[in-house]
Amino acid sequence: MNKDNETSIHEFDFNLICEYFSSIDRQGPGSESMTGKALSYVGELYADSRIADLGCGTGGQTVTIAKEVPGHIYALDLFPTFIDRLNARVVSNGLSERIDGIVGSMDALPFKEETFDLIWSEGAIYNIGFRKGLEYWRKFLKPGGIVCVSEASWLSESRPSEIEDFWMDAYPEIDTVEHKVRQMKEIGYDVITSFVIPENCWTEHFYKPQRKAQKIFLQNHQENPIASELVANMRHEAALYSKYSKYYGYVFYIGKKD
């Protein structure tokens, strides 16, 4: 295969992934009530507070944050398609004055250092890694600013090899809650709290909407092997979750820049 073919197949893949995930409200496990719970640990925010929502996807949690707390939200994602969806959602919720959608990368932030009261990231820091993200983002927080991220974590000290192997391949930085909390402290945060989000954030709010979206997606891309592979992968991931949910989950980690 020549390089041009590789590139075009890659782009095709990328467009399909964007189409698949932009057809659902959330791109990761979570819920409005868990976003609200995490916000309850953040402390007082004001109309002039500055909030970054990094890896915001189509903005599920962005809108919740805007409804729950005051402040201006800079919602950033790598994929323009997701930011388009977010912008439409912002307009339909009458939140244009409160939220700016930005296409950009979470490891090259287009912001000034020490300017944020709160940095939020649900199910997205894994893209650059928990440690790297927390270290890099810390510079953008004002002194005493808060970071709040959700991250895949082991919920037990040991686990069956099938699920261990799956995660080691997908995200080798997955670790126990205790270890992640220790890392946060080493990086320079006072850890306010950590909590596991409940199973319905995966089953009801993440995998269930995908079941309907998958049918439409497969109809739209009949006989496209990349589309069927994508759906097969997502179904496999959901099946693994229903089998092994007691061993891993998403955990919110909330810390204050010390």
CA distances from 79 to 6, 14, 18, 21, 130 (A): 20, 10, 8, 11, 20
Non-local (6+) Cβ contacts of 76 within 8 A are 52, 53, 54, 55, 56, 101, 102, 103, 104, 106, 109, 110
Q: Which is nearer to ligand SAH, 159 or 203 (CB)?
A: 203
* First-to-final CA distance of the chain: 52
Strand partners, 251: 151, 196
Q: Which is nearer to ligand SAH, 105 or 245 (CB)?
A: 105
Pair 154, 245: CB distance under 8 Å: no
Q: Which of 124, 146, 231, 238 binds ligand SAH (CB under 6 A)?
A: 124
Interface mask toward ligand SAH for 42-71; x: CB under 6 A: -------------xxx--xx----------
Smallest gap from Cβ 223 to ligand SAH, in A, equals 27
CA dihedral 164, 169, 170, 173 (to 10 degrees): 70
Q: Which stretch binds ligand SAH (CB under 6 A): 20-28, 167-175, 186-194, 238-246?
A: 20-28
**Residue 25 DSSP class:** S
The verdict on 145 binding ligand SAH (CB under 6 A) reads no
Total binding residues toward ligand SAH, as defined by CB under 6 A:
21
Q: Applying CB under 6 A, which of residues 123, 145, 249, 255 lies at the interface with ligand SAH?
A: 123
Place of tokens 């991250």: 151
In the block, tokens 């490891």 appear at: 107
Whole-number minimum distance, CB 100 to ligand SAH, in Å? 15
- The 3-class SS string of 166-214 reads HHHHHCCCCEEHHHHHHHHHHHCEEEEEEEECCCHHHHHHHHHHHHHHH
Counting contacts by CB under 6 A, is residue 33 touching ligand SAH?
A: no
Distant-in-sequence, close-in-space partners of 8: CB < 8 Å, separation ≥ 6: none
Contact region with ligand SAH (CB under 6 A), list: 123-131, 159-167, 170-178, 184-192: 123-131
The CA distance from 40 to 64, in Å, is 13
Q: Is 136 helix (H, G, I), strand (E, B) or coil?
A: helix
Residue from 23, 127, 193, 200 binding ligand SAH (CB under 6 A): 127
Q: Can residue 78 be called a binding residue for ligand SAH (CB under 6 A)?
A: yes
85 binds ligand SAH (CB under 6 A): no
Looking at beta carbons only, is 83 or 231 nearer to ligand SAH? 83
Which is closer to ligand SAH, CB of 77 or CB of 175? 77
By CB under 6 A, residue 28 contacts ligand SAH: yes
Does the footprint of ligand SAH cover residue 105 (CB under 6 A)? yes
Residues found near ligand SAH in the complex (CB under 6 A): 26-28, 30, 55-57, 60-61, 76-79, 82, 105-107, 122-124, 127
